[in-house]
Amino acid sequence: MSRMQKQGFQTVELMASAASKLIEDGAVVLTGSGLPMIAMALAMKTRTPNVTLVFEAGGIAPQIPVLPISVGDSRTFYRAVMATSLDCVMGTAQAGFVDYGMLGAAQIDMYGNINTTVIGPHDRPKARLPGSGGANDVGSLCWRTIVIMQQDSRRFVKKLDFLTTPGYLDGPGGRERAGLPEGTGPYRVVTQLGVMGFDDQTKRMRLISLHPGVSVEDIKANTGFELIIPPDVTVTTLPTAEEIRILRNEIDPAGFVVRKQGT
Amino acid sequence: MEVVSRGEGPLLGWHDPDEQRRWVRENKPRRMTDKRMGLKESVSKYVSDGDYLAMGGFGHVRVSMAAIYEMIRQNRKRLILAGKTAVHDCDLLVSSGCVDRVEVGYCFGHELRGLSPSSRRMVEQGRVTAVTETSNAGFQWRFKAAAMGLPFMPARILMGTDTFAKSSCAVARDPFSGKKIALIPACYPDVAFIHVHRCDRFGNSQIDGVSIMDCDLARAARRLVITTEEIVDDDVIRSEPSRTLIPFYCVDAVVEVPFGSHPGNMPLLYYSDEEHMALWLKLSKTEAGAKEYFDKYVYGVKDFNEYLELVGGQAKMKKLRDIELLKAPTEAPWAE
């Protein structure tokens, strides 16, 4: 049993709670299914009720009744204000209406570039992953991208096996040089160990907060590149009992993501 | 316009816009005629070995699965699949050997349910090739360019990434802003199947809920088969013309297939059959298991109706309807 389970919550619940606090009320958020969706549902049931969720398949501002399994399933436009097209949603993001995009990833580098395509060579991969899906579009077009993923030295790597979705590419100005919309890029990375952001000058990943019980050494050991450790690293705020109750009883009672467990 | 760089992926499903216009003039049925036919006939008539195939819907949602099962039963070969968030359709077509090349937007996974053991195995063993990479909007805008009769659509995606390098797109200098812009080439699939809630005998179609890429895909595909939960009277369409998303002149065939999206979700009618998905995900962990699935659920039945009986018939369909209408809890047996 992990230290966190002893404290009465699971790692995914801490990650959802931490991610739910990263957006402001009134923001428009393009999200996928799974943990990002859970984090946004929690945000809307706690601190930021006026967030507008949009889904790439066409759901705009749904009132999600139960967790969707597919990112385009009927729950993603339940009591929505509009059920439209991928063209409309991605075009809207391209036009600057979407504040945040939420993504998962298999690998990430120090500039927040992510890989969800292959492990190993593309023509004969060791592991074939699903590919971009909407991730490249979200990472290219939303103002700020938030990545939620597991952290270890095989996932936080110096060099990606494949650059699926743009972070800051090769550093400051990289996105603009490539032709991507100005002033966009990765904003936060939430893992089971902490919350990271990006240094304004160098665009390199920078530690913001460590989850309770995690040391700087722990996070360094689980990062395959040099993570900037500023002097003002904080401790991530624990999920409240009320947040845990909402996550387990209201958002994911069937345990699709927040798995049923004995604690 | 100055071309800055080009992706190395093969340009699939592309035609010169004038060649395409001539093809449309000579081949598309522009008279409002009765296009009803059976599922078997629609697949044998419109799906040829080697075709570039695109399916409507998204993930496990509103995909014409009945047509997928029929293509496997008819043993189509060397198909190229538009993996435009192709999930169970991709997994089955790849695993059964019908598809040997995929243009990948999202493939080889089952969203929240995890990765696809079977189609991943086929790619990792080199038996199926991911020939081109793109993104979901990349596909959407390939179809949009085609639907508008344009050679490409400009977009601010893909640039700077390996997804671009493996795509069939180009990057050029926009003459107006002076900035770089991705050029997403038009895609005219040889054939597409789109599953809809209702249409008339001519193919004028209504979709309830999200339309995903289907308005543009319908106009882009050279041949389009509409599978529908229900064929309705002409008056149903004419009484609410603003609800028609796909007009008759895009449509080559109309096939009535109730529950045609099973085991996927048909919004407002039935939810995805997670029990059946869990069964496939479990069996397809091994090649023998995948074969067992195909032998029982595809080759072992004569048509889609027999398949529906085999997976639980009316009782199962009622249960899926109750889940869809939130009268019964959603199940996730693959999460146990």
Q: Give B83's contacts in chain A (Cβ within 8 Å).
A: 131
Q: Give A67's contacts in chain B (Cβ within 8 Å).
A: 330
pLDDT at B99: 98
pLDDT at A70: 87
A58, A127, A164 ranked by CB distance to B210: nearest = A58
- Nearest residue on chain A to B141, alpha-carbon basis: A87
- Nearest residue on chain A to B118, alpha-carbon basis: A128
Q: Which domain holds residue A244?
A: 1-98+238-253
pLDDT in tens, chain B (336 residues): 899 999 999 999 999 999 999 999 999 989 999 999 999 999 999 999 999 999 999 999 999 999 999 999 999 999 999 999 999 999 999 999 999 999 999 999 999 899 999 999 999 999 999 999 999 999 999 999 999 999 999 999 999 999 999 999 999 999 999 999 999 999 999 999 999 999 999 999 999 999 999 999 999 999 999 999 999 999 999 999 999 999 999 999 999 999 999 999 999 999 999 999 999 999 999 999 999 999 999 999 999 999 999 999 999 999 999 999 999 999 889 886
How big is the CA angle at A106 (ends A104 and A109), to the nearest 5 degrees? Answer: 95
- CATH class (in words) of the domain with range B3-335: alpha beta
Query: pLDDT class for A104, splitting at 50, 70, 90?
Result: very high
Within an 8 Å CB–CB cutoff, is residue B47 touching chain A?
no
pTM: 0.97
Q: Are residues A227 and A163 in the same domain?
A: yes
Q: Closest Cα of chain A to B93: distance in Å?
A: 16
Contact B37, B228 (CB under 8 A): no
How many domains would you assign to chain A? Answer: 2
pLDDT at A3: 54
Query: pLDDT class for A6, splitting at 50, 70, 90?
Result: low
Q: Which residues of A have a catalytic role annotated?
A: 56
Q: Are residues A248 and A218 in the same domain?
A: no
Indicate which CATH number applies to the domain containing A198.
3.40.1080.10
pLDDT at A9: 85
Query: pLDDT class for A262, splitting at 50, 70, 90?
Result: very low
Residues paired with B155 in a beta bridge: B182
What is chain A written as a DSSP string? Answer: --HHHHTT--HHHHHHHHHHTSS-TT-EEE--SSHHHHHHHHHHHTT-TTPEEE-TTSEES---SS--SSTTSGGGGTT-SEE-BHHHHHHHHHTT---EEEE--SEE-TT--EE-SEES-TTS-SEE----TTHHHHHHHSSEEEEE---STTTB-SS-S---B-SSTTSTTHHHHHTPPTT-EEEEEE-SSEEEEE-TTT--EEEEEEPTT--HHHHHHT-SS--B--TT-EEPPPPPHHHHHIIIIII-TT-SSS-----
- How far is A211 from A229, CA to CA, in rounded Å? 14
ipTM over 0.85: yes
Within an 8 Å CB–CB cutoff, is residue A81 touching chain B?
no
Within an 8 Å CB–CB cutoff, is residue A254 touching chain B?
yes
Query: pLDDT class for A1, splitting at 50, 70, 90?
Result: very low
CA torsion sign for A220, A222, A225, A227 is negative
Interface contacts (A, B; CB < 8 Å): 224
Q: Are residues A115 and A92 in the same domain?
A: no
**Does A104 fall in a domain?**
no
Within an 8 Å CB–CB cutoff, is residue B178 touching chain A?
no
The domain limits of chain B are: 3-335
- How far is A165 from B320, CA to CA, in rounded Å? 36
Q: Are residues A65 and A164 in the same domain?
A: no
pLDDT at A257: 84
Contact B139, B52 (CB under 8 A): no
Q: Are residues A65 and A75 in the same domain?
A: yes
**Does A226 fall in a domain?**
yes
- How far is B26 from B23, CA to CA, in rounded Å? 5
With CB atoms and an 8 Å threshold, state whether B160 touches A71: no
Within an 8 Å CB–CB cutoff, is residue A61 touching chain B?
no
**Does A5 fall in a domain?**
yes
Give chain B's length. 336
**Does A261 fall in a domain?**
no
Picking from B63, B141, B163, B281 by the largest number of A CB atoms within 10 A of its own CB, the best residue to mutate is B163
A56, A58, A169 ranked by CB distance to B211: nearest = A58
Does the pLDDT at position A188 exceed 50?
Answer: yes
Q: Give B94's contacts in chain A (Cβ within 8 Å).
A: none
Give the Cβ contact number of residue B305 at 10 Å: 15
**Does A105 fall in a domain?**
no
Mean pLDDT of all residues belonging to chain A: 94
- In this prediction, what percent of chain A has a pLDDT beyond 70? 95
Within an 8 Å CB–CB cutoff, is residue A58 touching chain B?
yes
For residue A63 the two structure tokens come to 């009132």
Within an 8 Å CB–CB cutoff, is residue A70 touching chain B?
yes
Does the pLDDT at position A99 exceed 50?
Answer: yes
Give chain A's length. 263
Within an 8 Å CB–CB cutoff, is residue B163 touching chain A?
yes
Q: Are residues A137 and A208 in the same domain?
A: yes
B61, B156, B335 ranked by CB distance to A72: nearest = B61
Contact B163, A164 (CB under 8 A): yes
- How far is B302 from B304, CA to CA, in rounded Å? 7
Tens of pLDDT, residues A224-258: 999 999 999 999 999 999 999 999 999 998 888 87
**Does A57 fall in a domain?**
yes
How crowded is the C-beta side of A92, counted as CA atoms within 13 Å?
22
Q: Are residues A244 and A231 in the same domain?
A: no
Cα–Cα distance list, B224 to B34, B57, B236 (Å): 14, 14, 22
How big is the CA angle at A82 (ends A78 and A86), to the nearest 5 degrees? Answer: 100
pLDDT at A261: 47
Answer whether the bond into residue B263 is a cis peptide, omega within 30°.
yes
Q: Are residues A115 and A20 in the same domain?
A: no
- How far is B236 from A208, CA to CA, in rounded Å? 58
- How far is B257 from B223, CA to CA, in rounded Å? 19
Q: Closest Cα of chain A to B260: distance in Å?
A: 16
Q: A residues 182-221 near B, CB within 8 Å?
A: none
How big is the CA angle at A139 (ends A184 and B265), to the nearest 5 degrees? Answer: 140
